[in-house]
């Protein structure tokens, strides 16, 4: 089953007992996170797991770029649906996709 996300369902989580440094770490951008994994792998000999995590995150970043490009073309497409329901659904999918892309690229929903 595929879960369709709704931006309204994704509310900020207010974890208790976390320091401001821990909250900041949760809001690390995707590019910063990739770089941190690379640095840690180099400095601490994190080995294949750290390198693999960095590579996987780089793949996520590339996938997000493809999704953003696809959204550009979806925005250009105009539905022939006369009821307007297809257009509403299309716009909701665009909004949800943009929200999730932003969430992954810029970090969590933490204050």
The CA R_g of the chain, rounded to the nearest whole Å, is 18
The reply to whether 91 falls in a domain is yes
Q: How far apart are CA 37 and CA 107, in angstroms?
A: 15
Is the pLDDT confidence value at 58 over 50?
yes
Could you tell me the residue range of the domain that residue 50 belongs to? Answer: 28-106
Please tell me the predicted confidence (pLDDT) of residue 50.
79
The reply to whether 21 falls in a domain is no
Q: Which residues of 74-108 are buried (b: 16+ CB within 10 A; e: fewer)?
A: eeeeeeeeeeeeeeeebeeeeebbeeebeebeebe
Question: What pTM value is reported for the model?
Answer: 0.62
The reply to whether 18 falls in a domain is no
The reply to whether 99 falls in a domain is yes
The CA-based diameter of the chain, rounded to the nearest angstrom, is: 60
Is the pLDDT confidence value at 18 over 50?
yes
The reply to whether 83 falls in a domain is yes
The reply to whether 13 falls in a domain is no
Structure-model confidence comparison of residues 21 and 58, the more confident one: 58
The reply to whether 1 falls in a domain is no
pLDDT bin (cut points 50, 70, 90) of residue 1 is very low
Q: What is the mean pLDDT of residues 98-103?
A: 88
The reply to whether 11 falls in a domain is no
Please tell me the predicted confidence (pLDDT) of residue 10.
59
């Amino acid at each position: 089953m595929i879960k369709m996300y709704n931006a309204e369902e994704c509310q900020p989580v207010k974890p208790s007992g976390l320091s401001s440094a821990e909250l900041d770490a949760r809001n690390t951008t995707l590019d910063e996170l990739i770089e941190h994994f690379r640095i840690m792998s180099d400095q601490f000999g994190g080995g294949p797991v750290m390198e693999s995590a960095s590579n996987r995150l780089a793949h996520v970043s590339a996938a997000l770029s493809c999704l953003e490009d696809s959204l550009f073309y979806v925005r250009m497409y105009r539905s022939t649906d006369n009821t307007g329901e297809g257009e509403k659904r299309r716009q909701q999918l665009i909004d949800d996709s943009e929200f999730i892309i932003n969430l992954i690229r810029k970090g969590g929903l933490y204050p």
